Amino acid sequence: MAVAQSIHDITKTTVVFRNILVAVDFSEASRRALSEAVAMASIHDSLVSVVHVARTDWRYEMLENPPEIDLARSDEQQRLNAFIRDAHPKRDIGAAIIKAGPVVQGVLSAIADTHADLLVMGTRGRGGLSKLALGSVAEELLRIAPCPVLTVGPKSEITATQEGLRAILLATDFGKGSIEAIPLTLALAKSQRAKLILMHMLPPIPAPSTSLSAFAPATTAADEVEEWERSSRKRYVHEMKNCLPADTGLEQEPEYIVGTDFLPEGILMAAEQSKAGLIVMGATHTGSARAAAHIPWTAVHEVVRNARCPVLTVAG
């Protein structure tokens, strides 16, 4: 009840992204991310800033005030300005920021400098630490960033904010990130007049239990699995409904889905079938985000890598 009440209080006001920060590495993926950010900014009347984190030669860093660093920074600034002009010549950008050093720390610093309430990144899949590549820098950022992160993956074909969102899919595991994503997701669905779909994935089979004995007849075991799925669906639909306020303010009634496929595949299939223009997920905020970022088949990684629409994550 307390969760629903706080959500209701938030959704009574207009929730918009006031300051959007785009992290770029001059790749085509970054160009697409900037386009997505500009489109979203036009809806929310947001200020767009862009940051690029440049790598510096460690030999120069050993010296006091080396002129080469200033020259390199100037070159990177010109390159960033040109990148922005080529991508969106008619769009005013609030700030074009150059940071030096480790990418994650540079982006986090820029978030603080610009008071960003949304970070946008484009990814190409897995790659080296020097790139904004999913599985390293990007995935680490989406787990520890102090603001939501919109990731435009390599298969994202829909610039949803330009065409208008028909549906938003919120994949919830009832964790902190998923719960904290609800007010934002509601606000986006309301502003876009989009259908809101809440989804929770069950494991394909129940955990081993004494009731599902290996010595039981096959038909008995199948009946027990079917009953387990039926009761689980009912329970989780009830829990998803309880996550929302009684009055959502949406034009369409929310839809609730309980899937039984493997987590990433089930989310991707539901997004395809519902023609969702945005997938929203909670990202686990662990004490070892760097280690978690290198697990190759995490659910968030797989969804972003294969989704045909942008993915918005909220760290919990």
CA 22 remoteness from chain centre? 13
Rounded to whole angstroms, the Cα distance separating 64 from 177 reads: 43
pLDDT digits (tens, 9 = 90+) for 47-92: 999 999 987 655 555 555 555 556 667 888 999 999 999 987 777 8
Q: Name residue 72's amino acid.
A: A
CA 14 remoteness from chain centre? 21
Whether the predicted pLDDT of 134 surpasses 70: no
Topology of the domain comprising 2-315: Rossmann fold (3.40.50)
The residue ranking higher by pLDDT, 300 or 314, is 314
pLDDT band at 287 (very low <50, low <70, confident <90, very high): very low
State the pLDDT at residue 269: 94
The residue ranking higher by pLDDT, 298 or 145, is 145
Burial readout 34-52 (b: 16 or more C-beta within 10 A, e: otherwise): bbbbbebbebbebbbbbbb
Q: DSSP code of 194?
A: P
Rounded to whole angstroms, the Cα distance separating 282 from 51 reads: 24
Mean pLDDT of 107-123: 95
- Tokens at 219, concatenated: 């038909």
pLDDT digits (tens, 9 = 90+) for 258-285: 988 778 899 999 999 999 999 999 886 5
pTM: 0.82
Cα R_g (the chain), whole angstroms: 22
Rounded to whole angstroms, the Cα distance separating 58 from 237 reads: 55
Helices (H) and strands (E) in the chain, counts: 12, 10
- Which SS3 state, helix, strand or coil, does residue 311 take? strand
Query: Is 30:122 a contact under the CB 8 Å cutoff?
Result: yes
In sequence order, what DSSP letters do the residues of 138-184 get, joined into one string? HHHHHHH-SS-EEEE-TT----HHHH--SEEEEE--SSHHHHHHHHH
Q: Residue 89: beta bridge partners?
A: none
Strands (E), the chain: 19-23, 47-54, 95-100, 118-122, 149-152, 167-171, 195-201, 255-259, 278-283, 311-315
Q: DSSP code of 118?
A: E
End-to-end C-alpha distance for the chain, whole angstroms: 20
What is the phi/psi pair of residue 119, to 5°? Answer: -105, 130
Query: Is 55:72 a contact under the CB 8 Å cutoff?
Result: no
Could you give the angle at the alpha carbon of 274 between the alpha carbons of 270 and 276, nearest 5°?
95
Tell me the CA distances in angstroms from 282 to 43, 252, 262, one per residue in order: 24, 23, 17
pLDDT digits (tens, 9 = 90+) for 87-109: 877 778 889 999 988 899 999 99
Question: Where exactly are the structural domains of the chain?
Answer: 2-315
Whether the predicted pLDDT of 203 surpasses 80: no
Rounded to whole angstroms, the Cα distance separating 110 from 13 reads: 27
